[in-house]
Amino acid sequence: MIFREKSTAILSRSNGSFNHSTQNPKKRNFVWEYAKSIEAKDHIHLKPSYDLFIGGKNVKSKKYFETINPATEEKLAEVAVASKSDVHRAVLAAEKAYNRVWSKTSPKERAKYIFRIARIMQEKAREFAVIESMDGGKPIKESKLIDIPLAIAHFFYYAGWADKLNLAFPNVNISPIGVVGQIIPWNFPLLMAAWKIAPALACGNTVVIKSAETTPLTLYKLAEVIKEASLPDGVVNIISGAGDTGEAIVNHPKVKKIAFTGSTEVGKLIMKSTAGTDKKITLELGGKAANIIFEDAPIDQAVEGIINGIYFNQGHVCCAGSRLYVQESIKNEVVKKLKHRLKSLRVGNPLDKNTDVGAINSKMQLKKITELVNSGINEGCTLYQPECSLPDKGYWFKPTFFTNVAQANRIAQEEIFGPVLSVLTFRTPKEAIEKANNTQYGLSAGIWSDKGSKIFKMVSSIKAGVIWSNTFNKFNPASPFGGYKESGFGREGGKQGLKEYLNFN
Ligand code: NAI
Ligand code: MG
């Protein structure tokens, strides 16, 4: 790594640490230049075409679509579109597996299978990470350090619960639900699959899961792992396709439970179409989280938390801290530090280990982000973007924040799902609570303060499913995750996540 100030290299790496001795602290006009460190791709195995994975077999479909790398616009593979009759076939395979095998498999044996899936995933972790970054555009350091290890951790965690369900829910009769339908989004493909498949299997259900349009590949890799783990055929069926494939899963009469993560709009459609049926549903939908910084907070850590809260995974995060509420007395300091920090974010090739902000997942999402950012400009908010060059090909958006934002502005109300932060202010804790709760969503929030009592007061007054204090975007398989209001209902993760996959009678 080289540190340059006005094109003169003055800092070099020695003994693994950075030597700042020659740095002039008064001069702020510097840039960090990193030698490229591109993750190797030669160890990954991608097929030119992926069929559906139904009943333990690869099943051809009538139609295929392309999945591309959003950082290069290059085609990665063709992927099957599951028609209504393919969905039917997958549901029947799951029903057969449930009746004949999985409902008769002892909890201890179920645990072994889930554990085995986790172990094989670990062996292939690097391959999973590279494919996740290629298919979806996320920085390799995130897929390697967060997405894939967390997905694996969910399988390990729920393997542990499989034979302890009676301890989790004592003195009640519990039973599996049967065939469950699961529909996931494109922002954390493998992780969302793990959140859904692992507890479903631990509780004794069988699964039909659909990946999202732009990111089907790691799920088909997972199908290979499932095969290798010798999970009985049909216990997990993996399919791909767009909204109508999802709709066919939702409307299938033999599907007894729907677990959905995605937009609030589709969540509402699912509510409507399952009304009047006995299907159980859990919905994990959008968010517009408040990240609240008090004047007594450790400011530098808070700035890191703000950055992680909104620029992690290009802001394609339902629990992203997209509304920053900063106490008025420290607003100028925080904004100054944010500007400085944004200049050092590296935007570009997702496979470069130095990259902080990767590619926007799709052309459609880029269009949506651009439209909402333009609305912010038109409504009179002040835009800040650092100077940085973006690659010629692919879908990119500079890390962005807005100041002079009013509560009523669209960028303070709507989920942008991109690297765009709205900065707002407050004076008192009461005002912060009112403003934080002034949203249709209620998924997550962050509170930064040195005072524990203040944090507890805020936590009990903010209507959000997950509230982080003095940190942000931390996940653990043992912690339940889910929302209030239009962010959905039901919890995934932890003991609470098991409840959603069981009947109580
Ligand atoms: P989406 O909600 O349309 O897609 C999520 C999943 O639902 C995909 O697998 C999709 O194929 C499926 N789906 C679509 N229509 C369906 C239907 N009628 N019935 C059943 N399944 C259906 O989200 P989309 O269009 O990809 O993104 C649009 C916006 O939604 C984003 O800009 C973002 O604001 C939000 N979003 C939020 C997510 C979250 O985790 N909260 C995840 C993805 C998107
Ligand atoms: Mg793709």
Distance CA 242, CA 70 (A): 18
User: Which ligand has an atom closest to residue 46 CA?
Assistant: 2
Q: Tell me how far apart the alpha carbons of residues 386 and 340 are, in angstroms, rounded to a whole number.
A: 9
Say whether pLDDT at 5 is over 50: no
Q: Amino acid letter at 385? A: Q
- Residue whose CB lies within 8 A of the most ligand 1 atoms, among 218, 263, 411, for a mutation test: 263
The alpha carbon of 184 and the centre of ligand 2 are apart by a number of angstroms equal to 14
Of 500, 490, 501, 499, nearest to 284 by C-alpha is 490
Written as six digits, the tokens of 138 are: 């996320």
Residue 11: pLDDT over 60: no
Task: Give distance in angstroms: CA of 361 to centre of ligand 2.
Answer: 7
pLDDT at res. 34 = 81
Atom of ligand 1 nearest to the CA of 213: 11
- CA-nearest of 307, 264, 189 to 415 is 264
d(CA 188, CA 309): 15
pLDDT value, residue 25: 47
Residue tagged 């529909």 (tokens): 183
Count of CB atoms situated within 10 Å of the CB of 72: 17
Out of 23-32, 94-103, 238-247, 433-442, least confident range: 23-32
List, in order, residues 6 or more apart from 498 with CB less than 8 Å away: 158, 161, 165, 168, 169, 199, 202, 203
Q: Which of 266, 369, 416 to mutate to test the pocket of ligand 1 (most atoms within 8 A of CB)?
A: 266
Ligand 1 mean position to 237 CA, how many Å? 20
442 CA to centre of ligand 1 in angstroms: 18
Ligand 1 atom nearest 269 alpha carbon: 18
For the CA of 249, the closest atom of ligand 1 is 20
Does the pLDDT at position 17 exceed 80?
no
Residue ID of nearest Cα to ligand 1 atom 32: 417
The residues assigned a catalytic role are: 284, 318
pLDDT for res 14: 34
DSSP category for residue 145: I
Which helix (H) or strand (E) is 95 found in, with range? helix 84-100
Structural domains in the chain plus CATH codes: 2-33 (no CATH), 49-285+486-504 (3.40.605.10), 290-476 (3.40.309.10)
The whole-angstrom separation of Cα 434 and Cα 467 is 16
Backbone angles phi, psi at 437, to 5 degrees: -85, -5
pLDDT at position 19? 37
Cα of 73 vs its chain's centroid, Å? 22
The pLDDT tens digits of the residues spanning 454-463 come to 999 999 999 9
Q: Whose Cα sits closest to atom 36 in ligand 1?
A: 263
132 pLDDT more than 50: yes
* 3 state SS of 421: strand
Please give the full DSSP string across 165-185, using - where no structure is assigned: HHHHSTTS-EEE--EEEEE--
For the segment 285-301, what is each residue's pLDDT rounded down to a tens digit? 999 999 999 999 999 99
Polymer length in residues for the chain: 505
Which residue type does 86 have?
D
**pLDDT for position 22:** 41
Report the SS3 class of residue 212: coil
pLDDT at position 38: 97
425, 325 contact by CB (below 8 A):
yes
Mean pLDDT of the chain: 94
C-alpha to C-alpha distance for 64 and 280, rounded to whole angstroms: 31
128: CA distance to ligand 2 center in Å?
A: 14
Answer whether 47's CB lies under 8 Å from 217's CB.
no
Identify the residue whose C-alpha is closest to ligand 1 atom 6: 185
- pLDDT at residue 4 greater than cutoff 90: no
**Per-residue pLDDT at 49 exceeds 90:** yes
Q: Which residues line ligand 1 (CB under 6 A)?
A: 183-187, 210, 212-213, 242-243, 246-247, 250, 261-263, 266, 269-270, 285-286, 318, 365, 368, 415, 417
Q: How far is the CA of 230 from the centre of ligand 1 (A)?
A: 32
**In contact, 444 and 485? CB cutoff 8 Å:** no
pLDDT, tens digit (0-9, with 9 covering 90-100), for 82-116: 999 999 999 999 999 999 999 999 999 999 999 99
**Atom nearest to 186 CA in ligand 1:** 43
Type of residue found at 163: D
Give the pLDDT band of residue 505 (cuts 50, 70, 90): confident
**Looking at residues 349-353, what average pLDDT do you find?**
98
Q: For residue 241, is pLDDT > 70?
A: yes
Looking at the chain, the whole-number percentage of residues with pLDDT higher than 70 is 94
Which whole-number Å values give the CA distances from 55 to 202, 226, 329, 376, 410, in the listed order?
Answer: 19, 11, 61, 49, 46
Which amino acid is present at 379? E
Predicted local confidence at residue 480, as pLDDT: 97
pLDDT at 16 over 60: no
Q: What is the pLDDT of residue 32?
A: 65
Average pLDDT, integer, range 352-374: 98
Determine the Cα–Cα distance for residues 226 and 210; give it in Å rounded to an integer: 15
pLDDT reported for residue 33 = 76
Taking CA atoms, 243 is separated from 84, 183, 267, in Å, by: 11, 10, 12
Which ligand does the CA of 186 lie closest to? 1
Q: What kind and span of H or E run contains 248?
A: helix 243-251
- Token couple for 27: 């001069």
